[in-house]
C-alpha cells in the first residue's frame, strides 16, 4: 500500500523556514552551489569501511561557516520497495508510516542551528493520528516493558508548538527498551544538536530496521518490536559535505555511539532505503561511503 497525504500547512511552514534563512526561491544558486560540491567531492572521497564494531577514517577537511543555500528533497527517502507505506508531511518532519507494522519505516527532518535554540516546552501527551491507517494507540505500549521511543526527538522541535505536538504522534514512535532510549540513542540525539550548531544545518533520518525477522509485538494493535534502529546524518553545507550512519541494537549499546557508527551505504544495504538521492551522484557517493566517527565526535559549534 503506497499512499501519500500532505499535512495541511506543513510544507508551507518548511518553505517559510527556508526563506528566512535566505535559501528558498533561488534554484540557480542552489545548483551552482551543488556544482561546487562536485569539485570538492573529487578530493573528499573516502573509501567505504566500518561495521557494528565502529569505524574511523582519516579526518575530513574541517567544516566552514557559510550561508545555507537550500537543496530541495534531502528530507525525502526512497523507501524499501517491499515495505508498506503511508506518507505524511508534518510541520517539522516527514514520515513514511508502515500500517502493517504500526511503526514508521523512517522519519526525516532538517535541523538548523536556529532551531536548536527554540524554547517551546516539551509536550507530555502521546496522541494517535486518527487520519493515518494503522497508527498505534499510546496504550498499546502500557505494561509492555518498552518505552514510547521518538524517532524525531521532541528536543529537535522546540522551535514550534505545532512541531512539538506532532512529534508526539504515534506515527513517530517505536517500542524501545529504556536502556537504548535513555542511553546511546539519547546521546546521539544530543550530539546531533551540537552538529547542527556547528554546521548551520543537518538532515537526519531515523527509524527501525524492519528487514530483520521480527516476531515480537505489543498491544492490541500488535505493534512490531524492532531488534535494531538506524540513524543517518548528512551535513550538506559543510566544506566538504559529510555523512555518517549508526545502527543500534534495541537495548544497551555496548561501546556506545562509536561502536554503532557505520557508513550510510551500510544502512542502505541493511534497510533497503535510499537516502539523500537529491544530491548529485558524485557527492552522494562520497558522503555515503564515509565513516569518520572521530571527526564527528570532536565537532563543536
Are 86 and 132 within 8 A, CB to CB?
Answer: yes
Collapsed DSSP state (helix, strand, coil) of residue 154: helix
240 cis-preceded (ω within 30 degrees of 0): yes
Bridge partners (DSSP) of residue 273 are none
Tell me the C-alpha distance between 273 and 266, whole Å.
11
Tell me the C-alpha distance between 279 and 73, whole Å.
9
Tell me the C-alpha distance between 107 and 120, whole Å.
21
290 contact partners, CB below 8 Å, separation of at least 6: 46, 57, 60, 242, 243, 244, 263, 264
Lookup: cell for 157: 522541535
Select from 250, 286, 246 the least CA-distant residue to 267. Answer: 246
| Phi/psi at 4 (5° precision) | -140, 135
Name the strand (E) or helix (H) holding 60. Answer: none
Q: Of residues 57, 102, 150, 273, which has the active-site annotation?
A: 150
Lookup: cell for 88: 505524511
Torsion sign, CA atoms 288, 292, 293, 299 = negative
Residue 150 bears catalytic tag:
yes
DSSP assigned state of 239: S
| Phi/psi at 142 (5° precision) | -60, 130
- The residues assigned a catalytic role are 150
Amino acid at each position: 500500500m503506497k499512499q501519500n497525504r500532505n499535512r495541511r500547512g506543513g510544507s508551507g511552514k518548511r518553505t517559510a523556514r527556508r526563506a528566512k534563512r535566505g535559501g528558498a526561491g533561488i534554484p540557480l544558486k542552489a545548483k551552482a552551489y551543488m556544482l561546487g560540491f562536485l569539485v570538492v567531492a573529487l578530493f573528499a572521497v573516502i573509501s567505504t569501511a566500518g561495521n557494528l564494531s565502529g569505524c574511523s577514517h582519516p579526518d575530513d577537511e574541517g567544516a566552514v561557516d557559510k550561508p545555507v543555500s537550500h537543496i530541495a528533497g534531502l528530507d525525502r527517502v526512497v523507501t524499501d520497495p517491499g515495505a508498506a507505506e503511508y506518507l505524511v508531511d508534518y510541520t517539522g518532519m516527514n514520515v513514511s508510516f508502515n500500517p502493517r507494522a504500526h511503526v514508521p519505516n523512517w522519519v526525516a527532518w532538517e535541523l538548523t542551528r536556529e532551531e536548536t535554540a527554540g524554547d517551546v516546552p516539551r509536550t507530555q501527551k502521546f496522541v494517535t493520528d486518527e487520519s493515518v491507517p494503522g497508527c498505534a494507540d499510546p496504550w498499546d505500549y502500557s505494561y509492555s516493558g518498552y518505552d514510547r521511543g521518538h524517532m524525531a526527538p521532541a528536543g529537535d522541535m522546540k522551535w514550534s508548538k505545532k512541531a512539538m505536538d506532532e512529534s508526539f504522534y504515534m506515527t513517530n514512535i517505536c517500542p524501545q527498551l529504556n536502556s537504548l532510549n535513555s542511553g546511546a540513542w539519547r546521546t546521539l540525539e544530543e550530539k546531533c544538536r551540537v552538529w547542527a550548531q556547528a554546521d548551520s544545518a543537518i538532515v537526519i533520518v531515523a527509524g527501525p530496521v524492519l528487514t530483520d525477522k521480527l516476531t515480537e509485538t505489543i498491544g492490541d494493535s500488535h505493534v512490531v518490536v524492532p531488534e535494531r534502529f538506524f540513524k543517518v546524518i548528512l551535513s550538506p553545507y559543510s566544506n566538504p559535505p559529510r555523512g555518517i550512519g549508526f545502527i543500534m541494537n534495541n537495548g544497551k549499546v555496548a561501546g556506545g555511539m562509536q561502536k554503532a557508527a557505520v557508513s550510510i551505504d551500510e544502512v542502505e544495504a541493511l534497510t533497503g532505503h535510499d537516502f539523500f538521492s537529491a544530491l548529485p551522484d558524485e557527492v552522494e557517493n562520497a558522503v555515503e561511503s564515509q565513516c569518520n566517527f572521530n571527526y564527528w565526535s570532536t565537532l563543536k559549534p
